[in-house]
């Protein structure tokens, strides 16, 4: 399956819709162990991406990801802004001058998620977005070349949900939630939840193709 950047408007709209639909739920999560601004931060970035959607659709993948990365960095703010921005900018660097098939996409996405680890000085098990993003990226990388695309998509969606739910019982050791120490246990991380929502929204669109 070959997917071109002209799918970006549909993906950005679906992601934006899903975050808005779940905004109260995520804000409650972020209020419990963060400062409650995560949805507003994301929506600022998504609003800017919606404004750029027609332009993004005309670019190649590497240029589109580069532009999206810079927009996320400058518009989202908070911890998430630089982390998500770095994901896209690294994806752009990895895919530059390559035709993007599912194997190159998987390689680029994994490199992007690794850049979040570097920038955030964080890893899985610390109750962050990485608990969703890293298992999804690793599974995609392992399966992109040899498992049928529709099967991979369903499994990625399950992995994202499992990763999001796994953060509930974790002790936060990165980000604002870490200030709460033991009191962070028992709440799902807001960034893990929005990462899962975004991944599942994208998968829903791809499954409808």
- Which of 26, 38, 92, 184 binds ligand ADP (CB under 6 A)? It is 38
DSSP symbols for 23-85: HHHHHHHHHHHS-S-HHHHHHHHHHHHHHHHHHHHTS-HHHHHHHHHHHHHHHT-HHHHHHHH
- Which of 26, 95, 153, 189 binds ligand ADP (CB under 6 A)? It is 189
Residue 184 binds ligand ADP, judged by CB under 6 A:
no
Interaction pattern, residues 63-92, with ligand ADP; x per rule: CB under 6 A:
---------------xxx--x---------
- Residue 28 Cβ vs ligand ADP, minimum distance, rounded to whole Å: 13
Residue 28 binds Mg ion, judged by CB under 5 A:
no
Partner that binds at residue 114, options ligand ADP, Mg ion, none, CB closer than 5 to 8 Å by kind: none
- Which of 35, 101, 158, 169 binds Mg ion (CB under 5 A)? It is 35
**Rounded CA gap, 171 and 173, in Å?**
6
Token look-up 């590497």 returns: 62
Helix (H), strand (E) at residue 150: helix 149-166
Q: Using the rule CB under 5 A, give the single segment among 37-45, 63-71, 99-107, 166-174 that binds Mg ion.
A: 37-45
CA angle 178, 190, 11 (to 5 degrees): 140
Residues in contact with Mg ion by the rule CB under 5 A: 34-35, 37-38
């Amino acid at each position: 399956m070959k997917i071109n950047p002209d799918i970006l408007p549909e993906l950005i709209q679906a992601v934006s819709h899903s975050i808005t639909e779940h905004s109260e739920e995520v804000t409650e999560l972020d209020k419990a162990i963060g400062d409650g601004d995560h949805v507003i931060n994301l929506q600022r970035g998504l609003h800017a991406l919606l404004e750029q959607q027609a332009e993004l659709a005309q670019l190649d993948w590497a240029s589109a990801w580069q532009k999206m990365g810079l927009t996320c960095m400058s518009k989202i703010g908070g911890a998430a802004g630089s982390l998500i921005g770095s994901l896209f900018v690294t994806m752009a660097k990895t895919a530059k001058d390559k035709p993007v098939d599912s194997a190159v996409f998987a390689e680029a996405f994994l490199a992007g998620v690794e850049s979040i680890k570097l920038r955030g000085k964080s890893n899985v098990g610390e109750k962050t977005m990485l608990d969703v993003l890293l298992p999804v990226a690793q599974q995609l990388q392992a399966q992109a070349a040899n498992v049928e695309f529709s099967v991979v998509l369903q499994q990625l969606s399950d992995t994202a949900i499992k990763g999001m739910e796994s953060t509930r019982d974790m002790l936060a050791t990165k980000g604002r939630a870490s200030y709460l120490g033991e009191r962070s246990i028992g709440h799902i991380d807001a960034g893990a939840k929005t990462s899962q929502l975004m991944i599942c929204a994208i998968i829903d669109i791809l499954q409808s193709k």
